[in-house]
Amino acid sequence: CILFASPSAVHHFVELLGRGPAIAHLSKMEIAVIGPTTARAVSQLGLDVAIQPKTSSVEDLARAISSHFSDSAAS
């Protein structure tokens, strides 16, 4: 899992690795975002967001990640 808390974090990640390598890595991961603006930045790369809390807070993001993987482990 990789999490992004801002659109600029998404952009910096892509800038650091290069677009192709960044997308290749991200496409293999569960992507968690803090809110809709960050989700749009991920979507603009052609990638899907797996985890997004209903409200944009760090606490809710942590809960959403925990819940996502707890649910996955139960399957």
Task: For residue range 30-52, list pLDDT tens digits in order.
Answer: 999 999 999 999 999 999 999 99
Ordered DSSP codes for the chain: -EEESSHHHHHHHHHHH-HHHHHHHHTTS-EEESSHHHHHHHHTTT----B--SS--HHHHHHHHHHHHHHHHH-
Q: Are 42 and 10 in contact (CB under 8 A)?
A: yes
Q: What is the pTM of this model?
A: 0.90
Say yes or no to pLDDT of 72 above 80: no
Task: For residue range 1-28, list pLDDT tens digits in order.
Answer: 999 999 999 999 999 999 999 999 999 9
Q: What pLDDT shows up at residue 75?
A: 61
Task: Taking residues 46-65, report their average pLDDT.
Answer: 96
